[in-house]
């Protein structure tokens, strides 16, 4: 495998996986760079289902190995919401700023110490022949009372998610720190180990 198509239009996600896989000598391209401009409707009930659907679509369209992830935050005080609706629960085409404010508003009555949450990510790797491999990462933490850290486009929750055992939010960490700790980082670390055995 010399080329891997990442089924995303999110520049932040593309940058993360390109950094993580840079040592393997695999060219990581976005779906758009590979000529796939359509968005796949994320209508599955699980992170795994959405990830597989997206990766399979791009693998079929390009004839290349493709990878996709579906990630989300599950907030205990909100009964596990937003979950698979993480990017859309404030409405369609919602800006990052609105997602942050909407989430904090939903938690306005929840006190500090009762704002437990967990970030989940499933990465799906699909071959041109339709072979599927999935990798899952999870990190527990809390939703902060206010925004903290640097905003990265397409990753609004980084500013309000503080992983357990750390004083910083994801938004206050360097990309290297976050990649080794985050839900997506954990899923893609497993993916990287799998790819190392393939090459």
> Which domain range does residue 31 map to?
3-198
Q: What is the pLDDT of residue 172?
A: 96
Q: What total number of domains does the chain contain?
A: 1
Distance CA 23, CA 26 (A): 8
Determine which one of 70, 96, 98, 158 is catalytic: 70
Three-class DSSP labels, 51-86: HHHHHHHHHHHHCCCEEEEEEEEEEHHHCCCEHHHC
Query: Catalytic: 158?
Result: no
Above 80 in pLDDT, residue 199? no
Q: Exposed e or buried b for every residue in 76-109, given b needs 16+ CB within 10 A?
A: bbbeebbbbebbebbeeeeebeebbeebbebbee
Whether residue 180 contacts residue 17, with contact meaning beta carbons closer than 8 Å, is answered with no
Q: Exposed e or buried b for every residue in 116-144, given b needs 16+ CB within 10 A?
A: ebbbbbbbbbbeeeeeebbbbbebebbbb
Give 6-45 pLDDT, tens digit per residue.
Answer: 998 778 788 878 888 889 989 999 999 999 998 898 899 9
Q: What is the pLDDT of residue 74?
A: 97
Cβ-based neighbours of 86, under 8 Å, separated by 6 or more: 71, 72, 73, 157
Above 90 in pLDDT, residue 107? yes
Backbone angles phi, psi at 80, to 5 degrees: 90, -5
Q: What is the pLDDT of residue 57?
A: 96
Q: What is the pLDDT of residue 13?
A: 80
Q: What is the pLDDT of residue 48?
A: 97
Nearest to 44 by CA among 122, 156, 153, 99: 122
Structure tokens at 30: 């976005």
- Looking up residue 29, the CATH number of its domain turns out to be 3.90.950.10
Q: What is the pLDDT of residue 184?
A: 85
Give 143-188 pLDDT, tens digit per residue.
Answer: 999 999 988 777 889 999 999 999 999 999 998 888 788 888 899 9
Environment class of 170 (CB within 10 Å of its CB; exposed 0-12, middle 13-18, buried 19+): buried
pTM of the model: 0.84
Give 41-97 pLDDT, tens digit per residue.
Answer: 889 999 999 999 999 999 999 999 999 999 999 999 999 999 999 988 988 778 888
Above 80 in pLDDT, residue 132? yes
């Amino acid at each position: 495998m010399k080329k891997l198509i990442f089924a995303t239009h999110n520049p932040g996600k593309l940058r993360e996986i390109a950094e993580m896989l840079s040592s393997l000598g695999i060219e990581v391209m976005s779906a758009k760079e590979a000529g796939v401009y359509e968005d796949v409707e994320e209508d599955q009930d699980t992170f795994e289902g959405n990830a597989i659907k997206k990766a399979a679509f791009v693998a079929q369209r390009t004839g290349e190995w493709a990878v996709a992830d579906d990630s989300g935050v599950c907030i205990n005080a909100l009964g596990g919401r937003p979950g698979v609706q993480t990017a859309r629960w404030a409405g369609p085409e919602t800006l990052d700023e609105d997602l942050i404010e909407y989430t904090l508003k939903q938690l306005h009555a929840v006190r500090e110490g009762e704002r437990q949450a967990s970030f989940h990510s499933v990465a799906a790797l699909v071959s041109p022949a339709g072979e599927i491999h999935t990798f899952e990462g999870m990190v527990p933490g809390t939703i902060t009372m206010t925004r903290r850290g640097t905003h990265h486009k397409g990753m609004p929750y980084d500013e309000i998610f503080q992983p357990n055992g750390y004083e910083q939010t994801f938004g206050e960490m360097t990309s290297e720190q976050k990649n080794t700790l985050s839900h997506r980082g954990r899923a893609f670390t497993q993916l990287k180990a799998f790819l190392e055995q393939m090459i």
